[in-house]
Amino acid sequence: MKNTGFQRQTRQRSVILDELRRAHDHPTARELYERVQIRLPRISLGTVYRNLERLHEAGMIRKLEYAGQETRVDGDLEHHYHIRCTRCHRLDDVPEITSDLVGQRFEELGGYRVTGHRLEFQGLCPDCRNETGE
C-alpha cells in the first residue's frame, strides 16, 4: 500500500474522506464541515481544513481553487473538467470532452449553454527550472 504520509488514522479524517467520496457535488470546506458535523458533532472547521490539506497533499482529493470564490473539493480523481453557471454559481462536471478546444465553439455541454471558458497552464518557470535542475 502506498504511503500517504499520514501518521495517525483518526475518526475525523476517515469520516471527512467518506463524506467526500459519497458526495456527488463539489462541496466547499464549510459545506463538508456541516455534513461531517452530523456524524461528529464536536468536530471543528479547522480540522476539516487541516485534513483537506493533508488529503490534497496525499493526492487523494482535488482542490478546485480556480473558481474565484470559495475553494471547492472534488473526491473524484478521474481526469475531468467543470462547468460553472455564471448566474447561480452552480458547479457541475463536464460529461465528456472529446477533442479540439481552441478555435472551436462549444455551444452546449451537459445542458448548459456555454458562453466561455478559462484555461490555465501550470508548470515550472524558466528561473525555477534553473534552480531545481529541471
Partner DNA sequence: GTGTTTGCAAACGTTTTGCACAGGT
Partner DNA sequence: ACCTGTGCAAAACGTTTGCAAACAC
Helix axes 45-57, 11-22, angle to 10 degrees: 70
| Range 21-60, binding DNA (CB under 7 A) | 28-30, 40, 42-47, 49-51, 53
Nearer to DNA, 6 or 106 (CB): 6
User: At its nearest, how many Å lie between its own copies and the CB of residue 39?
Assistant: 29
| Range 95-134, binding its own copies (CB under 8 A) | 97-103, 106, 109, 111-129, 132, 134
Give the residue from 26, 125, 22 showing the smallest Cα distance to 71.
Answer: 26
Nearer to DNA, 14 or 130 (CB): 14
**b/e sequence 15-31, b meaning 16+ C-beta within 10 Å:** bbbebbeebeebbbbeb
CA–CA dist 45, 35 (Å, integer): 11
Give the 3-state secondary structure of residue 56: helix
Residue 17 partner contact from DNA, its own copies, none using kind-dependent CB cut-offs of 5 to 8 Å: none
Task: Indicate whether 88 belongs to the interface with its own copies (CB under 8 A).
Answer: yes
Q: Which residues bind to DNA, rule: CB under 7 A? A: 6-13, 28-30, 40, 42-47, 49-51, 53, 70-71
